[in-house]
Structure 1
Amino acid sequence: MLRESLLMILGAILIWRGVWILLDLIDNRFLGGTHVWSSVVGIILGVIMVYFADRDLEDVV
C-alpha cells in the first residue's frame, strides 16, 4: 500500500512538472514570456474546472 501511494505521488509530481515546463515553453513562444496572460488564463481555467467538478464554488472561496 505504501509503495502504491508513493508511486501515485511521484507520478503526480512528474505530471505537474511536465505540464509546468510545457506551459512555460508555450508562454515564452506565443505570449512573450511575461507570464501575466498565462497566469490570468490559468486562474480562470482553474476556477472553471473546480466549478464544473461539483457545480459549487465553495471550494474556491
Structure 2
Amino acid sequence: MGILDKFKSNKSAHKAAHKASDAAEKKMNERTGGKYEQQIDSGQQQAERRLGMERDRPDQP
C-alpha cells in the first residue's frame, strides 16, 4: 500500500486537503486579482482529481 493509497482511505486527511486546496486557490486569486480565476480553478480540480479527491463523489465530505 503506497502513501497515496493511505491518503485516499483517510477521511480526515481528505478534509484537511480540501481545506488546504481551497485556501491555496483563494490566495492565488487574491495575488492575481482574480485575473486567472478560471485557470486556477481548473488547475485545482485537476490536482484534486489526480489525488482522488473529486468533490462530486458521494463518499467524501
Higher RCO (Cα < 8 Å, 6 or more apart) = 2
Structure with larger Rg? 1
TM-score of the aligned structures, taking structure 2 as reference length: 0.43
TM (norm. structure 1) is 0.43
Q: Could you say which structure has the higher helix fraction? A: 1
